[in-house]
């Protein structure tokens, strides 16, 4: 049986951060088999919410747009045994996602974690104004 891939995309099917994308989707054999409004858009724990939802939906693989895998998200996916790959934000969904993506390394997790902290600070600053 083919793998179920979970990722986040915008209306034009371009990849966007877990914390910003419009949709969370599941893909099997190049076909979108599930699409929902990204639960991170209404959650305080944005990136981990997406990771948890992908696990909940039974994903075998997660394609995380660059900057999406903060440490808690990474831990959720690793603990569940989900394969994790990264892809550039803005790339378009195509049939062979695993060929267009790369395995996640520690640098990706560190960068994503810093980006998540920066986003939280910016939200707090602009929320107070």
Q: pLDDT at position 2, please?
A: 87
Q: pLDDT at position 128, please?
A: 57
Nearest to 93 by CA among 2, 6, 1: 6
3-state helix, strand, coil in the chain (%, to 5): 40, 25, 35
CATH topology of domain 5-128: Nucleotidyltransferase; domain 5 (3.30.420)
pLDDT digits (tens, 9 = 90+) for 67-117: 999 999 999 999 999 999 999 899 888 755 655 567 788 888 888 888 888
Give the whole-angstrom CA distance, residue 101 versus residue 79.
21
Q: Indicate the helix (H) or strand (E) that contains 12.
A: none
Q: pLDDT at position 93, please?
A: 84
Nearest to 53 by CA among 40, 68, 72, 64: 40
Q: How large is the average pLDDT for residues 58-67?
A: 94
pLDDT digits (tens, 9 = 90+) for 9-58: 999 999 999 999 999 999 998 899 999 999 999 988 899 999 999 999 99
pLDDT bin (cut points 50, 70, 90) of residue 127 is low
Q: pLDDT at position 97, please?
A: 61
Listed by start position, the domains of the chain span: 5-128
The backbone torsions φ and ψ at residue 7, rounded to the nearest 5 degrees and listed phi first, read: -160, 180
Please give the DSSP secondary-structure letter assigned to residue 39: G
Is a pLDDT exceeding 90 seen at residue 1? no
Give the whole-angstrom CA distance, residue 97 versus residue 111.
22
Give the Cα-Cα-Cα angle 35, 49, 13 (nearest 5 degrees): 35
């Amino acid at each position: 049986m083919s793998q179920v891939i979970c990722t986040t995309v915008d209306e034009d099917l371009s990849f966007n951060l877990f914390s910003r994308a419009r949709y969370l989707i599941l893909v099997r054999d190049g076909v979108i088999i599930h699409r929902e409004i990204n639960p991170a858009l209404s959650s305080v724990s944005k990136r981990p919410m997406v990771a948890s939802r992908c696990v909940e939906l039974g994903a075998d693989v997660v394609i995380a747009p660059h900057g999406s895998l903060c440490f808690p998200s990474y831990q959720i996916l690793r603990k569940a045994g989900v394969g994790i790959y990264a892809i550039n934000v803005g790339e378009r969904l195509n049939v062979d996602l695993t060929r267009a993506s790369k395995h996640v390394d520690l640098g990706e997790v560190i960068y994503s974690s810093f980006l998540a902290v920066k986003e939280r600070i910016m939200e707090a600053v602009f929320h107070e104004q």
